[in-house]
Amino acid sequence: MTDVAADPENAAELRDQVVDTLIRDGVIVSPQVEAAMRRVPRHRFTPEATVEEAYRPYAAVVTKKNEHGISISSVSAPQIQAMMLEQAAIEPGMRVLEIGSGGYNAALIAELVGDSGQVTTVDIDQDVTARAERLLAENGYPQVRVVLADAEDGLAAHAPYDRIIVTAGAWDIPPAWITQLTERGRLVVPLRLRGLTRSIAFERRGGHLLGLSARACGFVPMQGAGAHQEQLLLLCGTDEIGLRFDDGLPGDPSLLDNTVRTPRLEVWTGVVVGRTELVDTLQLYLATALPGFCIMAVDPALDTGLVEPNHPSFSLAAVDGGNFAYLRVRPTADDRSVEYGIHAFGPQREAFAEKMAGHVRTWAREHRGGPGPQIRVFPARTPDEQLPGHLVLDKKHSRVTFSWPSATAADQAVPPASSEGDDHR
């Protein structure tokens, strides 16, 4: 490491405060990750930000924007980086591939693998790799290999890897990310699942992946061959209400043309949760249980009150033919809890509202407080009869399966993936 004498006086103090906060919040749980994050000077890898901005525990630092002002590269929040490193369980001597460069995270990985390990970081953007290479060399990590490439095919030259960590939002898992792992090696990837993103730690088991843990997160999307655009459906032919579909539009979108102009039905489920209760599994449950699942967003500047979401930019929703519904909450009398409800539109709105409400009740009865689904990934060619799980999401390269164990199940042959989050949407 380089001399720290020129660092701002409060840099080390701010760095320790971040680590202390993440330990208190249960994000950092291992002494190895703690030591790495106390040692690597994050502010030196984020020259675009002030020292105070660099050490905000739950905030990313944007390092590059496109011509529309949209972030296309960033140094992730310390909380996200610590979370994914804990999921990866990196040990000294390991060979690690990072897909998506920034410099700081590669330095943390270098601390974890030690002198006997190897770290390769790859990015598709020459500006990003040049920046990462410069910052790593300036701050005492010249041993980290920086490569300019599209990582859709991994990086065979330095494989196999004990760990692959992806730091961009991926819609799919290319075959190379599996075949370039050692047996029982881990892939940690922010995987998009019907509009929801989860950082999932997978372990290689032969030709498929077994999910070990899942955590809510958000990342800039993958570029290059692995890029995938969600599709937007505008209701009523205006920009007021948009539905985002991650796996293709419904069969006949025209059936929804005037749905939100039908009378709105309100149904309350009787499912009450505390304002601080972790309910992230509800998002995944609805995404896997409802075939027409999507995300609704309302433009505040154009809002005419046709819908009343709790979160204008992100509401869980679903469609079925000419019917449309979204999840809503209302406070209880003591204002310490909220109750889930449904707003539904369309010719069969009563039946559709009850269907969606039934899924919320099933989650509350069978999966609330549970570990979340067991997630596995198989090659795209895998026949249906060889797939476990209650739901299969088909992607270009892979088939992702979900199995939902009961929250009260005493024995699980394989530990399900856990989830975190407290967003009542």
pLDDT in tens, 36-79: 999 999 999 999 899 999 999 999 898 877 776 676 778 899 99
Say if residues 359 and 289 touch (Cβ distance below 8 Å): yes
Long-range contacts of 129-134 (CB under 8 A, 24+ apart): 129/101, 131/63, 131/101, 131/103, 132/101, 132/102, 132/103, 132/106
Q: What is the 3-state secondary structure (H, E, C) of 66-78?
A: CCCCCEEEEECCH
CA-closest candidate to residue 200, choices 231, 170, 228: 170
Rounded CA gap, 338 and 277, in Å? 10
The SS3 assignment for 349 reads helix
Query: Tokens 């953007």 — which residue?
Result: 125
Would you give the distance in Å from CA 389 to the centre of its chain? 21
Average pLDDT rounded to a whole number, residues 136-144: 97
Average pLDDT rounded to a whole number, residues 278-303: 92
pLDDT at 161: 98
Q: Which amino acid is at 391?
A: L
Query: Tokens 């990866």 — which residue?
Result: 88
pLDDT at 232: 95
Confidence of residue 416 (pLDDT cuts 50, 70, 90): very low
Before 160, cis peptide (omega within 30)? Answer: yes
CA-closest candidate to residue 219, choices 257, 168, 174, 262: 168
In the chain, which residues fall in CATH 3.40.50.150? 11-226
Radius of gyration, CA atoms only, the chain? 22
Say if residues 155 and 122 touch (Cβ distance below 8 Å): yes
The CATH homologous superfamily to which domain 11-226 belongs is Vaccinia Virus protein VP39 (3.40.50.150)
Rounded CA gap, 118 and 164, in Å? 12
Rounded CA gap, 398 and 378, in Å? 6
Q: Which of 71, 73, 74, 76 is catalytic?
A: 76
Residue-wise pLDDT for 378-408, tens only, equals 999 999 999 987 789 999 999 999 999 877 6
Rounded CA gap, 101 and 92, in Å? 21
The pTM for the full model equals 0.91
- In angstroms, the Cα distances linking 195 to 50, 117, 124, 138, 170 are 33, 36, 24, 39, 11
Cα angle for residues 412, 417, 422 (degrees, 5° grid): 125
Q: What is the 3-state secondary structure (H, E, C) of 209-262?
A: EEEEEEEECCCCECCHHHCCCCEEEEECCCCCEEEEECCCCCCCHHHHCCHHHC
pLDDT surpasses 90 at 146: yes
Q: Specify the range with the lowest mean pLDDT, choosing from 68-72, 107-111, 119-123.
A: 68-72
Average pLDDT rounded to a whole number, residues 337-353: 97
- In angstroms, the Cα distances linking 354 to 22, 59, 327, 414 are 41, 39, 12, 33
pLDDT at 160: 97
Rounded CA gap, 247 and 398, in Å? 13
Query: Tokens 């494989």 — which residue?
Result: 159
pLDDT surpasses 50 at 414: no
Confidence of residue 360 (pLDDT cuts 50, 70, 90): very high
Catalytic site residue 76?
yes
Average pLDDT rounded to a whole number, residues 287-311: 93
Residue-wise pLDDT for 171-229, tens only, equals 999 999 999 999 999 999 999 999 999 999 999 999 999 999 999 998 888 999 999 99
pLDDT at 9: 78
